Amino acid sequence: MSAKPSKPMKIALYAISIVTCAVILYPYVVMFFSSVKDINEIYRIPGTIWPEHWNLSNYITVWQHIPLLYYFRNSAIVAFGATAVSICCAIPTGYALARMNFPGKKGFMQFIIITQMFAPVVLLVGIYRVMLTFSLTNNLFGLILLVAAFNQAFSAWLLSGTFATISHELEEAATIDGCNRVQAVIRVIIPLAAPGIATAVIHAFIGAWNEYTLTLVLISDTFKKSLNVGIRAFFGYTNVEWWYVFTCSLLTTVPILLLFQFVDKHIVGGLTAGGVKG
């Protein structure tokens, strides 16, 4: 048995944790305080982090300056749609990479990693011409397909490692009980792989929710823009309405926080799901 950490060690670990959390949360604290300031406090020199007058009405009036509800809707459609497409394609791909041997498998796995080196901005000209050919510009469906394509490679690579850790004997036991291969994967393998799938979902959703470059280039209709692109409306030629920028930026983090709360429960449940025959 390993020895319990001493009291000084515990204090040091707690101190490191507190400092780490403070460093991570500091930008969000500054954003929140800046979001409740007015123009005079934002541009005051020297400025202060703590607002003198709490202008909470910014969180209400921001909805009147831009079609924020449409931006939220478009971002949600793209994020959920791209995540669903990416994961539905990544699960069978990851399973095949983990369970099947075929010529060039190692090279294919390396190619998957190499594709992550190319940012969308490098391929923008080619992407735009292809999307224009298929009349998918200024179209949320086309944007969903593109975002899913960029997220799918990493999701497949991640899930292949997850499926590889699950014993073959579990599938064999399922086939003995009368399941075919597809049923064994759905009823046994996928529940056991829930933690890895949840991680892939989080990565794909965050990537889709934060998508900016493709949306900026492919979407021209104001009411089809995503939240990240719509915030640009507060950047003028002579000044920037930072109080609204920070307000919208904080609002964009809410869906991500809710997703973490939702998926976290499934990660814990997935650690034991399918482990006992009932």
Tens of pLDDT along the chain (278 residues)?
455 767 788 888 889 999 999 998 898 898 899 888 888 888 887 777 888 888 888 888 888 888 888 999 999 999 999 999 999 999 998 888 888 887 877 787 778 777 777 777 788 888 889 999 998 889 999 999 999 988 888 888 888 888 888 888 888 888 887 888 888 888 888 888 888 888 888 889 988 998 888 899 899 888 899 988 988 888 877 788 888 888 888 888 888 888 777 776 655 544 444 344 43
Determine how many CB atoms are found less than 10 A away from the CB of residue 59.
15
Instruction: Say if residues 159 and 96 touch (Cβ distance below 8 Å).
Output: no
Residue 268, pLDDT score: 53
Task: Say how many Å lie between the first and final Cα of the chain, rounded.
Answer: 34
Give me 264's structure tokens. 């976290």
* Cα→Cα distances 80→5, 42, 154, 196, Å: 44, 35, 17, 18
Residue 162, pLDDT score: 86
Q: Closest Cα partner for 230 from 254, 211, 204?
A: 211
Sequence-distant (≥ 6) Cβ neighbours of residue 275 within 8 angstroms: 192
**The dihedral sign for the CA sequence 129, 132, 138, 141:** negative
Give me 147's structure tokens. 């975002």
Percentages (nearest 5) of helix, strand, coil residues in the chain: 75, 0, 25
Residue 243, pLDDT score: 85
Cα distance between residue 90 and residue 84, in whole Å: 10
Q: Closest Cα partner for 214 from 134, 135, 122?
A: 122
Instruction: Say if residues 248 and 227 touch (Cβ distance below 8 Å).
Output: yes
